[in-house]
Amino acid sequence: KAGVTQTPRYLIKTRGQQVTLSCSPISGHRSVSWYQQTPGQGLQFLFEYFSETQRNKGNFPGRFSGRQFSNSRSEMNVSTLELGDSALYLCASSLGQGSGELFFGEGSRLTVL
């Protein structure tokens, strides 16, 4: 069974630009979560989607948004990039039917110059 796939793996943007990151969950998983990891703040929850519905959202500004498609694939978008948005963005999938383990992708490393 293929794991969680995130694209792109690495990207460099400049301040003010916007970026879209993609995540393909494990087949059969209906929940997708996104986390931001930085050296200063650690791992922080961004949002979680299940069957195209956002069930929870972290404390991030409105510049951070996401969505989930009918095939459970998910995208997150960050608009008007700031230097502080440089981070490893991790996507995780799960069956989503209750508490349980998350399966993480390798992440998308975003550098904002």
Partner 1 sequence: SQQGEEDPQALSIQEGENATMNCSYKTSINNLQWYRQNSGRGLVHLILIRSNEREKHSGRLRVTLDTSKKSSSLLITASRAADTASYFCAKEEDSSYKLIFGSGTRLLVRP
Q: Does 56 bind partner 1 (CB under 8 A)?
A: yes
State in angstroms the smallest separation of the CB of 6 from partner 1. Answer: 8
To 10 degrees, the CA torsion angle through 47, 20, 81, 8?
100
Question: What is the rounded CA–CA span in Å between residue 57 and residue 67?
Answer: 12
Note whether 60 and 78 are within 8 A (CB): no
Q: Does 24 bind partner 1 (CB under 8 A)?
A: no
Residues binding partner 1: number (CB under 8 A): 27
Q: Using the 8-state DSSP alphabet, how is residue 41 labeled?
A: T
State in angstroms the smallest separation of the CB of 16 from partner 1. Answer: 26
- Return the residue of 78, 107, 110, 112 that touches partner 1, per CB under 8 A: 107
